[in-house]
Structure 1
Amino acid sequence: ALGGGSTAPELRAEVEARSASVQPGHCASLIYTSGTTGDPKAVMVSHDNMVWTAASTFSKVFSEGPAAGVLPPENFRVVSYLPLSHVAAQMLDMVTPIVVTGSGNGIGPEMLERQYYTTWFARPDALKGSLPKTLVAARPTVFLGVPRVWEKIKEAMQEVGRKNDPFKQALAFWAKRHALTAAWQRQLGGDGSRSAAYLVARSLILSKVKAALGLDQCLVCITGAAPMPRDVTEYFASLDIDVLDAYGLSETSGGGCFNSPLVHRLG
């Protein structure tokens, strides 16, 4: 704690001195894991662990994105709704915004120099029903959801779809069928082909569906922490949304390995 009763210049000098004493290898955060036995155990994650992981992950998106049809915007946006005590939320919602925005000051990869990153904090009841409204308001460009979150979105969408008249249901089936075929061709091993029917469906139907979800500007949709059911992956692929798998641990500063926009396999 800073000394009580200190003047503003003294406090500023103390903060600057502490900042100057911090080294890249020093501990930046303690992440408590549940542990298999006994009390939760703390993982020490260093500053360079976190900064390197954030910079390298977004550099991958920038380098592959244009080739995959993903054009990075000037302003990245993320919705923070997962517990900030977990490494994934700390990295995506706190550390990465600092790294990407700080790159404009000559820090980090050159490809990030013109971008900045803002975090939208969801309401406390996000996982009880308010998250969809926040997504529509924020229109995130990056969204991480554990499989159960994607499942709940899928279930809500299907419930709405069942209330449509037969013509709209047939139209949706047609659009999703062509979008799923295109998704398989986008993945590793596919030929990248896109039918005229898919392009029409994407422009006239699927773009409106993604806008209703608040994901029409989302460049990277991610899932992790547990296996994603194949039917959920295929459902979102049929909406022209590739949900990319990621794997990591507290000990790896979150991301250990992940699918990228250009090199991925669904499911």
Structure 2
Amino acid sequence: MPGISVPSGGDDAITKGFVCTTTPTAAYSPGYVFRRDESGSQLLVDMLSDQAKVYRAKTLFGTYTANLARSAGLKFTLDAAIEDISASGDLGASSGQTTKVSFTDGELVQMTDRGVNEIIRTATADLVPVAGSTYFVVRDSIQAKAFDITLTRNDQAHLGGQVGVRNIVNADPSLSFQGDSGLVINGTFPEPLNVCLRAVRMEPLLPALVAEPAPGVEPPVVVEPAPVGGPVEDVTWRVTTTAATASDFGGLLSE
């Protein structure tokens, strides 16, 4: 499959909904199904990555603005492609107002709508919805062998300054940082790993009771949320366009 070029100023939509981490992994690839319970814990529903039909393309990603969130590791969400690096000046943190991220040796791993629906049918064949849980399926990932995160002063302060960044870096041998006035976190890995994941929400549904239609009139198609613990044979599931947030992934992207 030919590579996809996404230079700076390219298609922003390709990164919408991705949650990224400085502790990438080979796990949680497309086809991984999980739920977030009432307490905020992430629990495995099914591991179907080996059954997922994915499409891979070597990708030249651009440089993107990012929003950082400190957790056990460091997670960030991609925002928008930077239209013109040369016009925005030095990418150093001291000269910019937005933290920036770039990837090296990137690969876009995607499932089609049909592929996602096949995974959900398999994962939910005998699944009873658990009260208070929200369900997700990982459908896409960005794999890379390296990344650079150029921090703004505000994000440096949020992470505890150089001391805080040093603590994050020292906890992971694949990370390093450079710079005096502006800090850049570098991540380098021996093989492409899942640096960013995009998961979408799954919702359990079942047919609702409707009034008997008039003769010759097709009954309306009505669905309502499935009752917790309801009969499994009556429950169907649908994929939504609601993407999982950094909080939804929680500890999955910090281990």
Give the TM-score normalised by the residue count of structure 1: 0.24
Greater percentage in helix: 1
Greater percentage in strand: 2
Give the TM-score normalised by the residue count of structure 2: 0.25
Which structure has more relative contact order (CA 8 Å, sep 6+)? It is 2
